């Protein structure tokens, strides 16, 4: 698919992860929106996203992201949407639908600069 | 705000059939395959454009579970308690549906509200949706 036709939505509850994923997508000059889980469904239903990345967050929020990812697996075909669905997280998972987010830089900035 | 209808059904083909009908009427279908999904979705959207619920009678409580219990009755209870119109759509044989009718009656008595419809013998989602929308218009 031509890059100009790509439209990515990043969905997640943790702003830092969302921003990190969006920054990475932006590097490729691909259109990218960011949305919280709470507001994402109407955007997806009415939108024309080609790819959706659901951020699985750390600790407690991870479950929320996973539940939403599982719901989208059911709802995307029900809405006749063909967007490819991905999970993104900080674990070292090698799967076609998993995007690994390196968090070392964020951890170091947080602990060594911001919280120091 | 987009008007929404929750559709609860564990069989993918039936779920998509029902959702197609809901979309054709101009609503956003919120597909659910388990009791957990349905309860969470009711909580999330009950004040955000939720028009009603179409539910199967037998579907799993949890992801990966089997549809042995009549989870639809739990959804009926949750819907009536939240004052949301609900229609049950099931292929249950109407000759063997007394237990379900009795339990629905008990739920209606407990909540003081009526189910908008109970389609039996075949999963006729079109009829179920019609009952739901007629009920909504009467409100």
Smallest Cα distance from B13 to chain A, Å? 10
CATH of the domain at A16: 3.40.50.2300
Structural domain boundaries, residue A30? 3-114
Q: Alpha-carbon distance B7 to B19, whole Å?
A: 7
B-chain CB neighbours of A70 within 8 Å are 63
Q: Considering only the beta carbons, identify the residue of A38, A45, A78 that sits closest to B16.
A: A78
Structural domains in chain A (count):
1
Interchain CB distance below 8 Å, A75 and B31? yes
Find chain A residues with C-beta within 8 A of B20's C-beta: 80
Interface of A with B (CB under 8 A): 38, 41-42, 45-46, 67, 70-71, 74-75, 77-80
Neighbours of B90 (CB within 10 A): 23
The structural domains of chain B, with segments of one domain joined by +, span: 4-118
Q: Are A75 and B18 in contact (CB under 8 A)?
A: no
User: Does the pTM exceed 0.90?
Assistant: no
Do B23 and A80 lie within an 8 Å CB cutoff?
Answer: yes
The Cα–Cα gap between A66 and A68 comes to 5
Alpha helices in A8-103 (DSSP H): 15-26, 37-46, 60-78
Chain centroid offset of residue A42 CA? 16
Mean model confidence pLDDT for chain B? 92
Give the pLDDT confidence score for residue A114 in this predicted structure. Answer: 79
Q: What is the mean pLDDT of residues B61-86?
A: 88
B37 vs A contacts (CB less than 8 Å)? 71, 74
Output the tens digit of pLDDT for each of chain A's 116 residues.
788 899 999 998 887 778 888 888 999 999 999 999 989 999 999 999 999 999 886 655 568 888 999 999 999 999 999 999 999 888 888 899 999 887 777 777 777 887 77
User: Alpha carbon of A101 to those of A88, A91, B52, B65: distances in Å?
Assistant: 6, 8, 39, 32
Which token pair is B49? Answer: 């454009």
Tell me the CA distances in angstroms from A77 to B9, B43, B123, one per residue in order. Answer: 14, 23, 20
Distance (Å) from the alpha carbon of B19 to chain A's nearest alpha carbon: 6
Burial of B32 (0-12, 13-18, 19+ CB in 10 A): buried
Looking at CA atoms only, how far is residue B20 from chain A in angstroms? Answer: 7
Q: Is the pLDDT of residue B138 over 70?
A: no
pLDDT in tens, B111-124: 999 999 999 999 99
B4-118: CATH number: 3.40.50.2300
> Which value does ipTM take for this structure?
0.84
- Nearest Cβ partner for A74 among B2, B20, B31: B31
């Amino acid at each position: 698919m031509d890059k100009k036709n790509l439209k990515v939505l990043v969905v997640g509850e943790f702003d830092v992860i969302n921003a990190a994923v969006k920054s990475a997508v932006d590097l490729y000059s691909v259109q990218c929106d960011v949305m919280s889980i709470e507001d994402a469904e109407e955007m997806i239903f009415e939108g024309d996203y080609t790819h959706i990345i659901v951020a699985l967050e750390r600790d407690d929020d991870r479950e929320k992201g996973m539940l939403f990812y599982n719901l989208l697996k059911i709802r995307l075909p029900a809405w006749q949407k063909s967007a490819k669905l991905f999970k993104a997280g900080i674990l070292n998972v090698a799967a076609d639908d998993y995007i690994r987010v390196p968090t070392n830089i964020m951890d170091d900035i947080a602990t060594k600069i911001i919280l120091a | 705000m987009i008007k929404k209808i929750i559709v609860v059904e564990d069989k993918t083909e039936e779920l998509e059939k029902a959702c197609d009908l809901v979309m054709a009427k101009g609503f956003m279908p919120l597909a659910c395959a388990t009791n957990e999904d349905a309860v969470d979705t009711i909580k999330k959207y009950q004040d955000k454009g939720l028009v009603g619920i179409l539910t199967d009678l037998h579907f799993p409580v949890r992801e990966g579970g089997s549809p042995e219990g009549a989870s639809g009755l739990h959804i009926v209870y949750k819907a009536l308690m939240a004052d949301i119109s609900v229609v049950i759509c099931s292929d249950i044989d109407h000759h063997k549906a007394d237990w379900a009718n009795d339990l629905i009656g008990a739920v209606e008595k407990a909540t003081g509200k009526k189910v908008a419809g109970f389609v039996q013998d075949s999963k006729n989602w079109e009829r179920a949706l019609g009952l739901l929308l007629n009920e909504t218009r009467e409100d």
